[in-house]
């Protein structure tokens, strides 16, 4: 079973601060994805990274895929209260090519 | 929004009773998944389907069975519900494997008393 470890599990910051969330594994993934989930809703895809070393930017969010395709990070610049939510990393790989999720990082941005 | 509907949205049931959750999609996607989400555990795969009548187990399949008789419907059955199966259940669909976006339903909150 491929495991994805996310850190930190909880993060509470003030509006305007920067933050980074990490997603690590001992396994290689063909691609990694980041999802955001709001209370009472299903996760929604933010980004997919495919190539080792790849960096993608989505407004104030920067996603990076590790060179060895075993880890990824999500960096948010100048966080806003609207960024509050559960951030989940997920990887495609392993036998039968399933989508495996990390345990998530619960982010709270206080005004 | 992807056309994926879960029913019921909420259910309370007694220990030992069978329960069936339904996932219905209008996207004609080949792959369908059932996950459960619990605090501290994230999303864990229960079962998945790669076509009509083709299903396989995920990492937490004990006590659950699934069926897919039509492309659009994927049913999850708790054969004899236990309190440990109290959870939020999510259905997801993907058009293909790898790099594919997973579209999720809104979830079913199941409480076993």
Mean pLDDT score across all residues of chain B: 95
What is the reported pLDDT for B45?
94
CB contact under 8 A, B102 and A45: yes
**B80 CA: distance to closest CA in chain A (Å):** 26
What is the number of alpha carbons within 13 Å of residue A105 lying toward its C-beta?
28
- E strands present in chain A: 5-7, 10-14, 19-24, 31-37, 44-49, 55-58, 61-65, 71-76, 85-93, 98-101, 105-110
What is the reported pLDDT for B1?
60
Nearest to A61 by CA among A33, A39, A83: A83
* Structure tokens belonging to residue A7: 């850190």
Looking at beta carbons, which residues of chain A come within 8 Å of B33?
Answer: 99
What is the reported pLDDT for A54?
95
B residues 32-71 lying closer than 8 A (beta carbon) to A: 33, 35, 40-45, 48, 56, 58-59
Alpha carbon distance A34, A62 (integer Å) = 11
pLDDT in tens, chain A (111 residues): 678 999 999 999 999 999 999 999 988 888 999 999 999 999 999 999 999 999 999 999 999 999 999 999 999 999 999 999 999 999 987 766 789 999 999 999 999
CB B112 within 8 Å of CB B85: yes
């Amino acid at each position: 079973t491929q495991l994805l470890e996310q850190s930190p599990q909880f993060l509470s910051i003030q509006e305007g601060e920067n933050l980074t969330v990490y997603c690590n594994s001992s396994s290689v993934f063909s691609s990694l994805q980041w999802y955001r989930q709001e209370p009472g809703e299903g996760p929604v895809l933010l980004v997919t990274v495919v190539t080792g070393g790849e960096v993608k930017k989505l407004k104030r969010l920067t996603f990076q895929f590790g060179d060895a395709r075993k880890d990824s990070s999500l960096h948010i610049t100048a966080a806003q209260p609207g960024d509050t939510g559960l951030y989940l990393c997920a990887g495609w790989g392993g036998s039968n090519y399933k989508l495996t999720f990390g345990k998530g990082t619960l982010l709270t941005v206080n005004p | 929004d992807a056309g994926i509907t879960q029913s019921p949205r909420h259910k309370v049931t007694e220990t030992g009773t069978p329960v069936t959750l339904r996932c219905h999609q209008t996207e004609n996607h080949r792959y369908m998944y059932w996950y459960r989400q619990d605090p501290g555990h994230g999303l864990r795969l229960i079962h998945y389907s790669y076509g009509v009548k083709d299903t396989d187990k995920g990492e937490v399949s004990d006590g659950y069975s699934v069926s897919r008789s039509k492309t659009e419907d994927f049913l999850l059955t708790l054969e004899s519900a236990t309190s440990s199966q109290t959870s939020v259940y999510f259905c997801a669909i993907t058009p293909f494997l790898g790099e594919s976006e997973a579209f999720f339903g809104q979830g079913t909150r199941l409480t076993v008393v």
